[in-house]
A and B are shown apart, each in its own frame.
Chain A
Amino acid sequence: EAGVAQSPRYKIIEKRQSVAFWCNPISGHATLYWYQQILGQGPKLLIQFQNNGVVDDSQLPKDRFSAERLKGVDSTLKIQPAKLEDSAVYLCASSLGAGLDTQYFGPGTRLTVL
């Protein structure tokens, strides 16, 4: 069974530029998550989708971050404009359902903002 796919793996941009990340969850997984992991910290949830609806986006900086999950499968996370403090690893995860279902993570995208 294929795991969670993410692209790109690495991205370097200048501050104030925009960037987009893509995630394809495990087939059949209804719930998709985007996490931000700053160096030296554990991942922090940005947004959670159940199928193509948003369940939780309380920690998403909505003035610059946006995410969508069209058709309830793959998802994109966008940052516009990027700030220096957005440098982090962006992890996508998926689970079969919600609640205590195990979340499986992709390889992540390492973003560096200069």
Chain B
Amino acid sequence: AQKITQTQPGMFVQEKEAVTLDCTYDTSDQSYGLFWYKQPSSGEMIFLIYQGSYDEQNATEGRYSLNFQKARKSANLVISASQLGDSAMYFCAMMNTGFQKLVFGTGTRLLVSP
């Protein structure tokens, strides 16, 4: 079985500051992938960043980076230099190569203030 836990229902950050959104996962598989998606109020799920379980380096995509700590089973999303447009729901998700089903956490609502 696989499970994603996002313990922060809401986070606040000021514009231009960095913010970390927490994600922990549970799986017995050795091969898996971790994903972060952004969901603005419009409803669309926007892919942000991916980390494979065998990737040695943390993934980065522009202002997004994934702090992957395999031993702790955590995959936190770091957003640098927050912008007002970053206000949205953020979902962490994982897929085992064996189970092949994308499982989502409950999400964290991020609010960026001027």
Chain A interface residues toward B at CB < 8 A: 33, 40-45, 48, 56, 89, 91, 93, 98-100, 102-108, 110
Contact = CB atoms under 8 A, between A and B. Distances in A.
15 contacts: A33-B102, A42-B4, A42-B91, A42-B107, A43-B104, A48-B101, A56-B100, A89-B43, A91-B43, A100-B32, A100-B50, A100-B52, A102-B35, A105-B37, A105-B45
A69 to B, nearest CB: 18
Contacts of B45: 43, 91, 93, 105, 108
B101 A56 contact: yes
B66 interface: no
A102 B4 CA distance: 17
Chain B's interface: helix, strand, loop or mixed, by majority? strand
A99 B20 CA distance: 28
Interface string B1-41: 00010000000000000000000000000001101010000
B56 interface: no
Interface string B88-107: 00010101010011101111
Contacts of B93: 42
Nearest to A59: B101
Contacts of A102: 35, 47, 50
B102 A103 contact: yes
A89 B89 CA distance: 14
B16 to A, nearest CB: 29
A98 B33 CA distance: 12
A42 B50 CA distance: 18
Residue with the highest number of chain A CB atoms closer than 10 Å, among B37, B44, B104, B105: B44
